[in-house]
Structures are given as structure tokens and as C-alpha cells.
Amino acid sequence: MKRGPLGLKQPEGMTDFLPGRLAALEEAEQKALGVMRAWTYRKVRTPGLEYRDCVEPGADQGDSLYKFFDRDGNILALRPEFTTPIARLAACWCREDALPLRFCYAGPVYRSGDERQREFSQVGAELVGVDSPLADAEVLALAVEVLKALEVQGFRLSLGHNGILEGLMQEFRVGDVLRRELEDGIARKDIVKLETLIRAHSLPPEAAGLLTALPALTGREEVLDALEPWNRILPVRRAAETLRTIYAYLAEFGVQKYVSLDLGILQGFSYYTGAVFEGYLPEVGAPVLDGGRYDGLYADFGFPQPATGFALHLGLILEQAEEKEEEGADVLVYGQSPLKVIKRCRELRRAGKKVEMALTFLPEDEAKQLAAARGIGALERV
């Protein structure tokens, strides 16, 4: 039966992977997972489909979820990220395991709200069961080591803390609607929008000064000095102390030079509760890595545990890399007798060779041409 007009099209935002691109993706995944395993992170895999009740409350995806009904009328969703499904996995299967839990993963996630890309290849890590700046530093340092293993050039990580803005919003009793607008202005570093909102809602001058300053407070430890006038606000003071400690640990890990403090970072998922970070590449307009602490998520699954982790967006990184040239076979076997060709191919494969079998008889000149076109190193006629 002839296919309809959409039969030759990819669904919008999805990706076909030809051999060279897929080889590059798989090699990057294996390098990243190899680093994580060396840090004792164990790979897990969650289903591509989850019940909406699992992923929607924590992921804040809203209309960007791909949703389906099963035969019983339950709403399912394609996995929009890994952190929440792994929290479900741990709550289901790991309650008796010794803490901390260190998990790593690789696979696609799906978000329908992105106009350009709706399927994302990710690798990442989750560290569950430890509430300390050292755990945050470990995850950050691991992220740096993964990027180094992938030979990513020119990357930078920015480290911030959700407690700073949280403390200010509590101090000045800012409502949810205004808070979302302020968060958007800070995240976009839109000073004009921030000043307009502050005037319209008559926020006190001391709040206005810090809110408009946050997007520009980037650099090393000295940027935390700007928070000293706000030390009376407990969440702000604790956030500053945590960031100083994490940053000191990063020096011991040997990765501090890759990380800057950025007090204007705001993560897109509501489950983040503490230190947050993002990774950037030159000429890439979106973060290639994001992560942070999310101490409340596991309680949603009846398994309260502190946790921290990160996700690396391999697709954005590989856009900047050359496709991998796949290696050809070690040998092309050809001849007039199919039985002899099959037998010799089996012998060579048992010996560990990568073998291409000619399916029709080839004259010698044609065999040479085929081998050259395939990048095959040797010919054998039987």
C-alpha cells in the first residue's frame, strides 16, 4: 500500500541518525559513561513511557509533554527528562540499598514544546542520599571530567544557588505571579524588565538594588561579597556559605578554573532546591549541560532523600563536532562458490575479523573497486 504524504517525513523535531552521526553519538555516550563508571556511578535505564502522574508534577513540562492514553484510560507520557523517572525507579527498587546511590544514564528524552528540536540525546548522573556541599562538588567535578573526556573545547560552567532568590522572595512577600516575572527577567538578564516590574509593584529600594544586580554578579568568590548586606535572611546566608564551600572543593578536585559563580542562574525545573549549574559552549545559544540539587523530589515518591545531579545534552555538543568516519571491514571475501565464501567468512569472524561477504561473484577489478569504496583494508578470493 502506498504511503501517505507524511510517510517520507520525520515527525517535527525528531532526528534520523545515519551511520556516521550515530557512531559519533554512541562513542560520546560510551566515553561519558566510562568516566562516570570510574567514579562508581552505575548505569540504569527507565522506560521511554511513564505515567503522567510520575513526570508531570516534578518536571513542569505542562503542554510540552507527549501524552497518550493506554487501554485502561490512564495517561502516559514520553519521558521528558531522566531525573524524575530515576527518582521513581529508586523509590520502587532501591529502598533497602546502602546510601549514597550513584546512578548514570544515557538515552533520548522528548519535549513537544521546543520549536526546533523535540528529541534530545542525554547522558547524566544522579547522586542520591547525601545533603552536603561535597556531594554537589563531586557532581560538578564529574560533569567537568565528562566534558574533558569528550574533548569539548571552550566549555564553561556557571554555578549559582536557588536559595538566594528564594530568600528575597520570602523577605519581601512576593506573590507567585510577580515572582515568575522577576525570574524571567533575571534569567534573561533583562534589566529593563526588572526595573519596570520593581517600579510597578513598589518593591523597596534595597530589594530593587539586589534584584537588578543579580544578573551581573558573575565571577569568582568575590561576587558573594555582594550578598553580605543580606546575611540577616537565612536562606541567602546559607546559599552564600554553600557556594563558598562548593567552590573551595572544586579547587581540590582540580576543576575550579572551569567554573564561575553566577548568582543570576535560575533552573527551569521547579524541583531544584539548592546549588544549580549550567554549562555553555561558544556559539551555542542554549546550555549544553544543566543540573543542581533537588532535595524535595524523592519525598514526592514516598522515599525522602536529598539528591543532586546533572544532564549533558549530547546533541548540542555533537552539532559542533565532525561526524565519525566509520571504519570499513578488515577484509572483503568473494568468489564463485557461495558455500566457500560463507565458510571463509565464518572462519575469519571467529578469528575476530570484521568481514564483508560479497553476495554475488565479482571480477577482481570490481572487487577492488568495492573494497576501495567501502574502505576495506584487504581482499580475499576463495
Instruction: Collect all residues with Cβ–Cβ distance below 8 Å to 349 and sequence separation of at least 6.
Output: 355
177 and 286 in contact (C-beta within 8 Å)?
no
| Number of C-beta neighbours around residue 44 at 10 A | 17
pTM for the complete prediction? 0.91
3 state SS of 85: helix
Q: Find all residues with CB under 8 Å of 67, minimum gap 6, and list them.
A: 52, 75, 76, 77
pLDDT at 363: 92
3-state SS, 204-235, equals CHHHHHHHHHHHHCEECHHHHHHHHHHCCCHH
Rounded to whole angstroms, the Cα distance separating 365 from 343 reads 23
Among candidate residues 265, 256, 299, the one with its CA nearest the CA of residue 163: 265
Alpha-carbon distance of 220 to 15, in angstroms, equals 39
Q: Which three cell numbers stand for residue 375?
A: 574502505
Q: Does domain 19-318 have CATH number 3.30.428.10?
A: no
Query: DSSP string spanning 11-50?
Result: PTT-----HHHHHHHHHHHHHHHHHHHHTTPEE----SEE
Q: According to the model, what pLDDT value does residue 167 have?
A: 86
Cell 540525546 found at: 121
Per-residue model confidence as pLDDT tens for the chain (382 residues): 788 888 889 888 898 988 888 989 999 999 999 999 999 999 999 999 999 999 975 444 457 899 999 999 999 999 999 999 999 999 999 999 999 999 999 999 999 876 678 999 999 999 999 999 999 999 999 999 999 999 999 999 999 998 888 888 888 888 888 888 888 888 778 888 888 888 888 788 777 788 888 888 899 999 999 888 888 889 999 999 999 999 999 999 999 999 999 998 876 557 889 999 999 998 887 899 999 999 999 999 999 999 999 999 998 888 766 666 777 899 999 999 999 999 999 999 999 999 999 999 999 999 999 999 888 989 999 9
Q: What is the pLDDT of residue 239?
A: 94
Instruction: Name the residue ranges covered by the structural domains of the chain.
Output: 19-318, 331-381
Would you say how long the chain is, in residues?
382
Residue type, 298: Y
Q: How far apart are CA 325 and CA 20, in angstroms?
A: 6
Helix axes 133-149, 19-38, angle to 10 degrees: 140
> Who's near 327: CB < 8 A, 6+ residues apart?
354, 375
Nine-digit cell string for 322: 565532525
User: Could you give the 3-state DSSP secondary structure of residue 116?
Assistant: coil
